[in-house]
Structure 1
Amino acid sequence: MKIITIRQPWATLVALGEKQFETRSWRTAYRGELAIHAGKAIDKTTCQQEPYRSVLQRRGYTSDQLPLGAVIAVGRLEQCYYVGTDLGTAAILGDEGYIVEGAEYAFGDYTEGRYAWKIGRIGFLERPLPATGRLGLWNLPDDPLLKMDEMQHTWSK
């Protein structure tokens, strides 16, 4: 299974289904199961800004409660869109003309030329599984603590 490391609070927002797109400077042809790894870094200043603060608070989190250095969710990488137009308050993705706005837009970097990875069917793991993050997409290590068939998860709405 492929894994991507994401800094906090963005990793938790993805895991909760509040952030459907992970924006990156590079594209991927990979589609399929994707584990979300929360890196060891947290941007506490961002956690205090809107809309981050209210979304995290509504879901029962503060910056001090966000898991770090662990696999926290499993979902599906469904699509990778090119960011064609950044309007400043919304972005237009790909040839399909998919529009991203509101909190979703605020949660990403939709600068023209970047890529928006659509992550769906996300499930937050009941127990975060400690792991060391890496850059790019990486594979699940051969570690008995990280066996996918042992992971218990609850699906987000």
Structure 2
Amino acid sequence: MKVLSMIQPWATLLVQGETLYETRSWKTRYRGPLAIHASQKVDKLACKHEPIRSLLAKNGYTEQNLPTGVILATCELSNCYQVIDANHTSAILDCGKVVSGKDILLGDYSPGYFAWEIVGFRLLKTYIPVKGKLGLWEYPIDEELMI
């Protein structure tokens, strides 16, 4: 299965359904099953700012107990849109969708960046410890590990 490594707390916020998009500086043509990997790195400063701190707390997390170095969940990468315009409160994607509210605070919606639309999260029964990589990478995930 294709895997995407993400820095914490962004990985946990995504798999907990706190945002609809993962933003990247690069486009992908890939669509289909995707696993989300939490890298070893935690952005501790981000964890202390609102609304991130409250969103993590809602799910029982703090900067100290975020899982790292593990695959957390699987999902579907359904689309990839380019950000064509943005300000501090909203962004416009090339498909015409407008991103606002919590989503705009949980990503980098700079014009030219890409919003990966991700749906259908399935948490894993047990996290899979594995070293992350840059870009999309492959890792075999047994269907029995998914909730």
**Pairwise TM-score range, normalised by the shorter structure:** over 0.9
RMSD: 1.0
CA distance in 2, matches of 1:101, 1:64: 29
Contact 2:9 2:43 in 1 (8 A): yes
Q: Measure how far apart 1:58 and its partner are.
A: 1.1
**CA deviation after TM superposition for structure 1 residue 59, in Å:** 1.4
Q: CA deviation at 1:149?
A: 2.2
Aligned partner of 2:111 in structure 1 is: 112
Question: After TM superposition, what 4+ stretches of structure 1 lie above 3 angstroms from structure 2?
Answer: none
Instruction: Return the letter of the residue paired with 1:71.
Output: I
In the other structure, the counterpart of 1:43 is 43
Give the drift of 1:84: 0.6
Deviations 1:89-115 (A, max 9, x none): 110111x21111111111000000000
Paired position in structure 2 for 1:143: none
Query: Structure 2: which amino acid aligns with 1:103?
Result: K
The CA deviation at 1:3 is 0.2
Does the Cα contact within 8 Å between 2:33 and 2:76 map onto a contact in 1?
yes
- Tell me the TM-score normalized by structure 2: 0.96
Q: Could you say which residue in structure 1 is the equivalent of 2:84? A: 84
- What is the alpha-carbon distance in structure 1 between the residues aligned to residue 96 and residue 11 of structure 2? 26
1:38 partner SS: strand
**1:98 aligns to 2:92 (yes or no):** no
| Post-superposition offset of 1:125 | 1.6
Say which SS state the counterpart of residue 63 (structure 1) adopts. coil
Q: Does the aligned pair in 1 maintain the 2:122–2:146 contact within 8 Å?
A: no
What's the CA shift for 1:123?
Answer: 1.6
Give the total of aligned pairs.
Answer: 147
Which ranges of structure 2 fall in alignment gaps of 5 or more residues?
none
How far apart, CA to CA, are the structure 2 residues paired with 1:147 and 1:48? Answer: 33
- For structure 1, list consecutive stretches of 5 or more residues without a partner in the other structure: 141-145
- TM-score w.r.t. the length of structure 1 is 0.90
> Secondary structure at 1:65's aligned position in 2?
coil
Match of 2:146 in 1: 152
Counterpart CA distance in 1 for 2:122 and 2:19 is 13
Hey, what's the Cα distance between the residues in 2 that align with 1:110 and 1:8? 18
